[in-house]
Amino acid sequence: ISRRQPTPLVNFNPFTPDSLLIQSATQQRNNRKRAHWNDSCGEDMEASDGETEDDILPPSKRVTMMESNMMSRYASEFLELEKIGCGEFGAVFKCVKRLDGCIYAIKRSKKPLAGSVDEQNALREVYAHAVLGQHPHVVRYYSAWAEDDHMLIQNEYCNGGTLSDVITENYRRLSYLSELELKDLLLQVTRGLKYIHSTSLVHMDIKPSNIFISRKSVPSCDECDEDDGLTTSVVYKIGDLGHVTRVTNPQVEEGDSRYLANEVLQEDYSNLTKADIFALALTVISASGAEPLPTNGEKWHEIRQGKPPNIPQVLSPEFVSLLKLMIHPDPTRRPSTSDLIKHPVLLTAARMSADQLRVELNAEKFKNALLQKELKKAQLARAVAEEKVLSTDRILTRSTVQSNPRTSRLIGKKMNRSVSLTIY
* Binding site residue list for ATP: 84-92, 107
- CA dist., res. 238 & res. 206, Å (int): 8
Q: How far is CA 366 from the centre of its chain?
A: 25
Active site residue 205: yes
Per the CB < 8 A criterion, the answer to whether 177 and 278 are in contact is no
Sign, CA dihedral 352-357-361-363, equals positive
Residue type, 350: A
- List binding-site positions: 84-92, 107, 210, 240
Per the CB < 8 A criterion, the answer to whether 162 and 208 are in contact is yes
Residue in 239, 311, 309, 246 with CA at minimum distance from that of residue 273? 246
Sequence-ordered strand ranges (E) for 102-192: 103-109, 141-147, 150-156
- CA dist., res. 162 & res. 299, Å (int): 26
Phi, psi at 218, each rounded to 5°: -130, 145
- CA dist., res. 388 & res. 207, Å (int): 67
Per the CB < 8 A criterion, the answer to whether 67 and 80 are in contact is no
Per the CB < 8 A criterion, the answer to whether 329 and 352 are in contact is no
- CA dist., res. 124 & res. 110, Å (int): 16
Q: How far is CA 269 from the centre of its chain?
A: 28
Determine which helix (DSSP H) or strand (DSSP E) holds 230, and give its type and residue range: strand 230-238
The catalytic residue among 44, 55, 148, 205 is 205
- CA dist., res. 373 & res. 368, Å (int): 9
- CA dist., res. 314 & res. 291, Å (int): 15
Per the CB < 8 A criterion, the answer to whether 182 and 103 are in contact is no
- CA dist., res. 90 & res. 191, Å (int): 28
Per the CB < 8 A criterion, the answer to whether 344 and 322 are in contact is no
- List binding-site positions for Mg(2+): 210, 240
**How many residues are there in the chain?**
424
Cis amide leading into 58 (omega within 30): no
Per the CB < 8 A criterion, the answer to whether 49 and 124 are in contact is no
Question: How many C-beta atoms surround the C-beta of residue 196 within 10 A?
Answer: 24
Catalytic (active-site) positions:
205
